[in-house]
Chains A and B, each alone.
Chain A
Amino acid sequence: MADVMLRPVDEADLAHAISSADGPLRITGGGTRTLVHVAGTPLDTSGLTGMELYEPGAMTLVVRAGTPLAEVEALLATENQRLAFEPPNFAPVLGRPGQSTIGGVVAANASGPRRLQAGACRDAMLGVRFVDGAGTIIKNGGRVMKNVTGYDLVKLLSGSNGTLGVLSEVSLKVLPTPEAEATLIFEGQTVSAAVDTLCDAMGTPFDVTGAAYVAAGKKTAIRVEGLSASVTYRQAELQRGVAAGFEVLEGASSAALWADIRDLAPFVGRTGDLWRASMKPTDAPGLIGALDDAGIGHDAILDWSGGLVSLLVTDGRRAGGELIRAHVAACGGHATCLRGDHRAYPPQSPGVARLEAGLRARFDPRGILNPGLMEA
């Protein structure tokens, strides 16, 4: 028996699908990022496609939510622009066949290495149109760079994973693709030496746009981007200062390295629980040390100067997950389980949990939008 699947082709259709739903909906874009399987009728947004507006001279893109990310990126490339927040593609590491949509990226607030310097997906977001759980079409924000007109529901919807509303259209600030990039790379640092180096690099005036450490191979990587002469100058200054002895990767080899870090390529095809922990960079070595001390088998990729720790826990998964959550909670931050037998999203303090529940009750009074997905 084939499952019923809803696949609206425009916003009115989406509103109708939601208002007439009589039970839970499982909302998907390309199906590449959802972390929790929700029981419910599939609501597939991949029919909501197309570009509404693209003004390169104003760095503004308005696009329907189901548009494939690859199409968005290809369109921007024709004008030598890009999504500055460098959205990751987790389809390979999560073993998903689908192709990522821009709405899915926004719903997950998915950001890559450049998040550290250029901001997260939510920071590039200028506006949203969405349908709430009652089937009401709502817009917030707009298409301009600066907008403080009323509450910022754009941020609230970014990263809400479809639990407050289903996105129909998103407006984004895009940025020029720089002329050149280069990565300074060094093999052999310990994790704490690497985090020290990365923090030092972030404290220079050289606009570092990537600061990562790959535990396998002990690779420390620092990226600069910009006008060609500027990249040459900045890499030399970094080598003279905080990155003495580092080698230089340029152009395509630099880009390939960061794509691997962004997509967690070193973890692809390997079994184990997958975690992402956000914390202060200088707290990251402590987490790695605690896993080592507890004899938990793991591999790690540190991004965001150490502030984002991606972990593949291969041995001691139950204890490892509990240790990660406890450690991160103690030092301030949050850990999300991308794959494994743990709750995906971290628990919140009672006050925050009450506010979150209150918002869900108002935006989705029937509790039909990805119910339970983000609850800890």
Chain B
Amino acid sequence: MEMPAPNAAILSRKTQIVERLRTVLPADAVIADAAETRAYECDALTAYRCPPMAAVLPANTAEVAAVLKICHEEGVPVVPRGSGTSLAGGALPTADCVILGVSKMNAVLETDYENRFIRVQTGRTNLSVTGAVEEEDFFYAPDPSSQLACAIAGNVAMNSGGAHCLKYGVTTNNLLGVTMVTMDGEVMELGGAHLDAGGLDLLGVICGSEGQLGVVTEATLRILRKPEGARPVLMGFDSNETAGACVSDIIKAGILPVAIEFMDRPIIEICENFAKAGYPQCEALLIVEVEGSDAEIDDQLSRISAIARTHNPVELRESTSAAESAAIWLGRKSAFGAVGQVADYMCLDGTIPVSTLPRVLKGIEALSEQYGLKVGNVFHAGDGNMHPLIMFDANKPGDLELCEAMGADILRLCVEVGGCLTGEHGVGIEKRDLMGDQYTPQDLAAQMAVKDVFDPAWLLNPAKVFPLDSSQQHRIAAE
């Protein structure tokens, strides 16, 4: 993955730049020692590493503004970092950049149950937002699988999703407002505890902008009362087509489950060997979860099971208790870990129209044979968000490159059938060079025009999202 060559003029001024940063932050919040900056050399896309020139850990919005003002004046690129759990390389540094980490900013600023919102500093982790309100039986809905570690800052930057977005939506649907600092150090408020924008929906474009438009320091988030209960049904089918048709029939019947998860045979086998969840050996498994009171859950599950029966399931198991629910979820929740036990893997997250599922799975199978790499599929089937896991051997020379090439082909297939490159992980560097497969030069120019407006000097996370050749003119014009 190509990154722009570091700017030698910036590197030569490192001492002076670090000194300036130390005038606005406490001594321990500016990290410039080569041994210590190594801690920030990568995010969860660990194949790519590059220690930053320096890292700063501001404690509040004013400190963020002060840092950005200095970096703006010095012409230093800034890469914002939440918890560093990005699978797309969204927080990958360049050698001439300052990493701006929000990990010290994790306070709850305001909790309001009547108006159903919480305002937090964005270094707070996703799960601890729910942790702050669960005493009152409330929760924050978006639940990316890294929720124990990932920060709200990163969730906002990537517009993170999760397993339950079929009912609750993704980050952008649960984000009411932000405090944001632009690259020149100006602090602004977008949205708030009220709904919708009075003017242009700038909040909507900030969410998912991958830290390229501003640094979001505080966020106002919708909190919801927890449902009375939730239980899944597990169903096994003898073909992917049948499982896909069943998903479509459930939705057409007017039932809106909170989650529909799909696993294919390779994943079922690996998970079963690892977690011993008692899954049937079959071509496709669905886990469909619904919410409500016990009686409401029974009503929905019986309707879903009736639909499933018309597709001749090889297994149909409605949960009737918390223990049975846990058993059904056990395999799915351990899927990534289970695959990690048998191989190195790369996790893609292209989204497809649900109706094209059989075609896409066949295409992936063909690519798997062509490249000689095994693939398993776990999939948020309700919303079409695929997670093909390509298994490879990181110690085998050339295997990573082979895996990346195959991943690119899978994502091109997703685009070809009417889907997209990334459903919830973001573009980062990982999918950057595939953007031209989904968008025309005009489509990309429109997006880059937004960056020109928010960050005219192209200093915020500049080498991400857009193919380097297409962003080059913008970056050069900014210098």
Contacts and interface: CB of A to CB of B under 8 A. Distances in A.
B330 interface: no
Nearest to A80: B254
Contacts of A352: 188, 190, 199, 202
Interface in A327-348: 332-336, 345-346, 348
A23 B383 CA distance: 43
Contacts of A115: 195-196
The 9 closest A-B pairs by CB, nearest first: A155-B204, A334-B198, A57-B248, A176-B254, A145-B383, A146-B423, A358-B453, A333-B194, A351-B188
26 contacts: A119-B169, A119-B173, A123-B169, A144-B418, A145-B383, A145-B384, A145-B385, A146-B165, A146-B424, A147-B351, A149-B420, A152-B159, A156-B450, A160-B201, A176-B255, A176-B256, A227-B255, A229-B296, A230-B296, A279-B194, A334-B199, A345-B198, A351-B187, A351-B188, A355-B202, A358-B453
B423 A304 contact: no
Contacts of B228: 205
Contacts of A119: 169, 173
A315 interface: no
A272 interface: no
Contact of B299 (A145, A230, A332, A363): A230
Interface string B250-267: 011111100000000000
B201 A159 contact: yes
Contacts of A98: none
A150 B190 CA distance: 20
A199 B188 contact: no
B420 A147 contact: yes
Contacts of B435: 149-150
Interface stretch (B48-56, B399-407, B439-447): B439-447
A332 B182 contact: no
Interface string A36-63: 0000000000000000000111111000
Interface of A: 55-60, 79-80, 109, 111, 115-116, 119-120, 122-123, 132, 136-140, 142-156, 158-160, 163-164, 175-179, 196, 199, 202-205, 227, 229-230, 233, 278-282, 304, 307-308, 332-336, 345-346, 348-349, 351-352, 355-356, 358-359, 361-363, 374, 376
B27 interface: no
A149 B138 CA distance: 31
Contacts of A150: 427, 435, 438-439, 443-444, 447, 465-466
Given A142-B418, A176-B255, A153 B194 contact: no
A55 B424 contact: no
B442 A156 contact: no
B196 A148 contact: no
Interface string B134-170: 0001100000000000000000001101000110011
Interface extent on B, as a size class?
Answer: 35 or more
Contacts of A196: 114
Nearest to A117: B224
Contacts of B353: 55, 58, 60, 143-144
Contact of B296 (A179, A227, A281, A332): A227
A164 B450 CA distance: 12
B351 A146 contact: yes
Contacts of B197: 109, 159, 334
Given A146-B380, A149-B438, A278-B196, A59 B251 contact: yes
B293 interface: yes
B113 interface: yes
